[in-house]
Amino acid sequence: MSQTTVGELFSFLENRFPFSLQEDYDNSGFLIGERESIVNGVLVSLDCTTDIVHEAIQHKCNVILSHHPLIFKGLKRLNFTNDVERVVRLAIKNDISIIAIHTNLDNHHLGVNRVIGERLGISNPRILQPKKGELYNLAVFVPKDHLHQLDEAIFKAGAGSIGNYDACRFAGEGEGSFKPLNGANPQEGKIGQREFVKEQKVEYLVPKARLGAVLNAMKTSHPYEEVAHHIYQLDNFHQEIGSGMIGELEQTMNLKDFLNLVKTAFNCGVIRHSGNLEQSVKKVAWCGGAGSFLIGKAMQSKADIYLTGDLKYHDFFIPEERMVLADIGHYESEQFTSDFLVEELNKNFANFAVRLTELSTNPINYF
């Protein structure tokens, strides 16, 4: 059985949940290690602490995949006086690589918030605040008899998906012309002579994260030496990329019963909430981690309740009586992200062990 390098593992994560989707303030990615190292085992956790590194050493895991980045801000010195610096030293001394997959996973429709929705039995989940600037239009001019070859390469590279549809594109027929100059090596035609060719103008929708791969596929599958093409960024919302989610319960519940469901599903020590326990809940919005920035969007979307973590006292005044706010805890909302990542790795790699941490890194206790 072939071995997997840490670089190959990172490339899998990049292809699945592109790191370009992370927020500007984030530091997700390959934080510590060498890409050429062979993966012996992966320990998955929400956070990366010294206890987590010791657990990795105990189980002979030389890669730690955490949701929250160990190094969030730049390290200006290494005096090993805090846990971050001690983790860096311990990981390097034991040849342990550390990868963080944070807000790129938060912003992906198959990531953190999908996991939350599934545990609550939410139907029709969709992104609460989709992002702009994540989609491009690529128009390519190609001879008609090479269209299929171009299609296959570009679709395989990640273009042409719209919601639940794949292999989407538009083609229109026209006449192209060109005149090869000295030094050219044309696929057809003669130097100094203008040529006229029946061509197709083909347009594809391309996610920003796949643009480089798609352009490379276009160039390698196209018959021309110089590929005529246009690229422009779209103002469309990308419905599969963005913050938070919203959906509906199968049946309307009163707030008390719904909060009991949440408390059981996420093992919450306490839920801080607004609202009357007898009011009805049907439409639910949520965001894993710290999501106060989406309160207004949840209200605008007519949610009955918005679930998140790290809410402040004054946040609870914002909705007044138009929507319930519920703070279920930062750790509690994201804890099952680790289970999801273990499942993803086990489905795609069979040549190394993947372990879910046995430790809780939640720094908060409830009295």
| Contact assessment for residue 172 and residue 201, using Cβ atoms and an 8 Å cutoff | yes
Provide mean pLDDT across the span 132-144.
Answer: 96
Do 26 and 102 reside in the same domain of the chain?
A: yes
Provide mean pLDDT across the span 230-244.
Answer: 96
Do 194 and 323 reside in the same domain of the chain?
A: no
Please report the DSSP string for 3-69 in residue order. --BHHHHHHHHHHHS-GGGS-TT---EEEES-TTSBP-EEEEESS--HHHHHHHHHTT--EEEESS-
In a domain? residue 364:
no
CA distances from 72 to 69, 168, 267 (A): 6, 39, 28
Q: How confident is the model at residue 271 (pLDDT cuts 50, 70, 90)?
A: very high
Provide mean pLDDT across the span 265-279.
Answer: 96
Do 57 and 121 reside in the same domain of the chain?
A: no
DSSP state of 162: B
Do 297 and 264 reside in the same domain of the chain?
A: yes
| Contact assessment for residue 177 and residue 195, using Cβ atoms and an 8 Å cutoff | yes
Question: To which H or E segment does residue 343 belong?
Answer: helix 337-348
How far apart (Å, rounded) are the C-alpha atoms in residues 75 and 225?
A: 47
Q: How confident is the model at residue 126 (pLDDT cuts 50, 70, 90)?
A: very high
In a domain? residue 365:
no
Do 120 and 248 reside in the same domain of the chain?
A: yes
| Contact assessment for residue 137 and residue 211, using Cβ atoms and an 8 Å cutoff | no
How far apart (Å, rounded) are the C-alpha atoms in residues 175 and 201?
A: 10
In a domain? residue 363:
no
Asked whether the predicted pLDDT for residue 107 surpasses 90, the reply is: yes
Closest by CA position to 76, among listed 88, 65, 64? 88
How far apart (Å, rounded) are the C-alpha atoms in residues 191 and 182?
A: 6
For residue 338, what are its two tokens?
A: 């680790």
CATH code where residue 36 lies: 3.40.1390.30
| Contact assessment for residue 328 and residue 306, using Cβ atoms and an 8 Å cutoff | no
Do 195 and 271 reside in the same domain of the chain?
A: no
In a domain? residue 268:
yes
Residue found under tokens 């994540």 = 134
Mean pLDDT for all residues in the chain: 96
Q: Which one is predicted more confidently, 187 or 110? A: 110
Domain containing 173 equals 134-234
DSSP state of 149: H
Do 124 and 257 reside in the same domain of the chain?
A: yes
In a domain? residue 362:
no
Do 218 and 87 reside in the same domain of the chain?
A: no
Percent of the chain exceeding pLDDT 90 equals: 93
For 308-349, the pLDDT digits (tens) are 999 999 999 999 999 999 999 999 999 999 999 999 999 999
In a domain? residue 155:
yes
Asked whether the predicted pLDDT for residue 164 surpasses 90, the reply is: no
Do 346 and 312 reside in the same domain of the chain?
A: no
Do 124 and 246 reside in the same domain of the chain?
A: yes
Please name the residues in contact with 33: beta carbons below 8 A apart, sequence gap of 6 or more.
6, 63, 91, 95, 96, 97, 98, 99
Q: How confident is the model at residue 221 (pLDDT cuts 50, 70, 90)?
A: very high
pTM of the model: 0.91
Do 51 and 102 reside in the same domain of the chain?
A: yes
CA 254 from chain centre, in angstroms, equals 33
How long is the chain? 367
How far apart (Å, rounded) are the C-alpha atoms in residues 211 and 257?
A: 46
For 39-52, the pLDDT digits (tens) are 999 999 999 999 99
CA distances from 260 to 120, 306, 319, 333 (A): 11, 15, 22, 15
| Contact assessment for residue 301 and residue 243, using Cβ atoms and an 8 Å cutoff | no
Domain count, the chain: 3
Provide mean pLDDT across the span 245-269.
Answer: 97
Provide mean pLDDT across the span 12-25.
Answer: 96
In a domain? residue 230:
yes
Q: How confident is the model at residue 1 (pLDDT cuts 50, 70, 90)?
A: low
Please report the DSSP string for 65-110 in residue order. EESS-S--S--------SHHHHHHHHHHHTT-EEEE--HHHHTBTT
Asked whether the predicted pLDDT for residue 212 surpasses 70, the reply is: yes
Asked whether the predicted pLDDT for residue 74 surpasses 90, the reply is: no
| Contact assessment for residue 274 and residue 140, using Cβ atoms and an 8 Å cutoff | no
Asked whether the predicted pLDDT for residue 258 surpasses 80, the reply is: yes
pLDDT of residue 189: 83
Orientation of helix 147-156 relative to helix 211-221, angle to 10°: 150
In a domain? residue 321:
yes
CATH code where residue 219 lies: 3.30.70.120
| Contact assessment for residue 43 and residue 96, using Cβ atoms and an 8 Å cutoff | no
- Choose one of 208, 234, 260: the last residue of a domain: 234
- Choose one of 234, 251, 274: the last residue of a domain: 234
Do 341 and 329 reside in the same domain of the chain?
A: no
How far apart (Å, rounded) are the C-alpha atoms in residues 32 and 57?
A: 15
